[in-house]
Amino acid sequence: MKTAFITGISGQDGSYLAEHLLDLDYRVVAMMRRSATQSVSRFAHIADRIEIVHGDLLDQASLMRLLTDCQPDEIYNLAAQSFVHASFDEPIHTGEVTGLGVMRMLEAVRLCAPKARFYQASSSEMFGKVHEVPQSENTPFHPRSPYGVAKVYGHWATLNYRESYDMYACSGILFNHESPRRGLEFVTRKISDHVAAIVCGEKDGLALGNLDAQRDWGFAGDYIKAMHLMLQQDEPDDYVVATNETHTVREFCEIAFGHVGLDYNDFVSIDPKYYRPAEVELLLGDATKAKEKLGWEPEVNFRGLVEMMVDYDLKRRIDQGATCQRGSLPEALA
């Protein structure tokens, strides 16, 4: 039985990855940081099948202690301050966790578990003000936020440790991936949750920022499979993971509201407080390498993703007794 060590278990990707690895008969050891409120909701359904250990990307000693104890075969570094907007408000903290945190993990691996295979959660935000369309593993980086800058640092640190110490270290350059477990602060989940709240009469509108931003959005449940595949190859490498399609925030709204028989124009307003000091206008990934070398392809398409998220946010309200006050319930929930 292989052992996997995951950081960021309480986040969106951590829970999907842990589920996938359990299905593949891994022993899963997962790190959480101590906090006043334990956010276990995303993995509560598998909590009795994984080993939760406590550590923090800010605390080098905790990482070294955990890897020494666990001696994993595979390490997935998913933990980060991952909200781009917040990185403008907390740039130093974002740099410490999302950037230097990767270096702390790499040092812990090098010193305490050098044979382990390492996955770093890199991001399409590194492409930022894009130099070409679509973006591939060879596209130059031009980050547009403290988050993007920190991810570039973590990305290069991963490559540097691979080259310097012959470590099996991979960087997955993942484009936006979403799910019903996405944090409510990200635009996709903010929209799906508001649509459900509007249908149930809990809210009357939705304030957003830049509706023209374009993203290559996929389903998190598909993307975590690519992470695992990267660590099963003969040689470590870096891969773009994307759907090869781009859509605007406006299109996301159109489909989400349309799914419940509403027109987004009647509910969406613009609030400049959601604009960012520098915006990433267009992301479109070229995942040809992942397809050819890993045999990876996304299964959920854009419309399927939007509808899955709206259905989830509606269903959890209906299960708690809410009823349809506006628009119409999708067929599956009617």
Contacting residues toward ligand F7E, per CB under 6 A: 82, 84-85, 123-125, 175-176, 185-188, 190, 208-210, 213, 215, 249, 274, 276, 279-280
Residue pair 208/195 in contact (Cβ under 8 Å)? The answer is no
**Min separation Cβ 333 and ligand NAP, Å:** 26
Residues 64-103 that bind ligand NAP (CB under 6 A): 78-82, 97
Query: Which does residue 39 bind out of ligand NAP, ligand F7E, none, counting CB within 5 to 8 angstroms by kind?
Result: ligand NAP
Tell me if residue 192 is catalytic.
no
> What whole-number distance in Å separates Cα of residue 14 and Cα of residue 33?
13
- 322: which 2 tokens? 């809410």
Q: Strand, helix or coil at 238? A: strand
Please state whether beta strands 218-219 and 177-178 pair in parallel, antiparallel, or not at all (unpaired): parallel
Copy the structure tokens of residue 180: 């019903």
How far is the C-alpha of 173 from the C-alpha of 137, rounded, in Å?
8
CB 283 within 8 A of CB 130: yes
- R_g over Cα of the chain: 20
Gap between the Cα atoms of 275 and 82, Å rounded: 17
Catalytic residue among 15, 62, 122, 123: 123
Question: C-alpha distances in angstroms, 283 versus 35, 88, 179, 292, 329?
Answer: 34, 20, 19, 21, 32
Mark whether 274 is an active-site residue: no
Residue nearest to ligand NAP (CB): 11
CB of 55 to ligand NAP, least distance (A): 7
Q: What's the closest the beta carbon of residue 110 comes to ligand NAP, in angstroms?
A: 19
Give the whole-angstrom CA distance, residue 22 versus residue 45: 12
Assess whether 87 carries a catalytic annotation: no
Kindly give the residue spans of alpha helices, DSSP state H, lying in 210-248: 220-230
| Integer Cα distance of 318 and 312 in angstroms | 10
Judged by beta carbon, residue 84 or residue 102, the one nearer ligand F7E is 84
Minimum CB separation of residue 279 from ligand NAP in Å reads: 16
Catalytic residue among 125, 178, 251, 307: 125
Query: What residues from 295 to 314 belong to the interface with ligand NAP (CB under 6 A)?
Result: none
Task: Specify the pairing of strand 238-241 against strand 169-174.
Answer: parallel
> Which residue among 5, 12, 18, 231 contacts ligand NAP (CB under 6 A)?
12
Q: Is the peptide bond before 330 cis (omega within 30 degrees of 0)?
A: no
The residue range among 67-75, 170-178, 188-196, 262-270 that interacts with ligand NAP, by the rule CB under 6 A, is 170-178
Judged by CB under 6 A, the chain residues 115 through 134 that form the site for ligand NAP are: 121, 123
Instruction: Out of 4, 5, 6, 11, name the contact with ligand NAP by CB under 6 A.
Output: 11
Q: Binding ligand NAP by CB under 6 A: which of 177, 189, 247, 317? A: 177
CB 188 within 8 A of CB 178: yes
Residue placing its CB nearer to ligand F7E in the complex, 72 or 177:
177
Query: Least distance (Å) from ligand NAP to the CB of residue 261?
Result: 29
Interface stretch with ligand NAP, choices 67-75, 171-179, 291-299, 310-318 (CB under 6 A)? 171-179
Binding site residues, ligand NAP, CB under 6 A: 7-14, 33, 35, 39, 56-58, 78-82, 97, 121, 123, 174, 176-177, 183
Which residues are tagged catalytic?
123, 125, 147
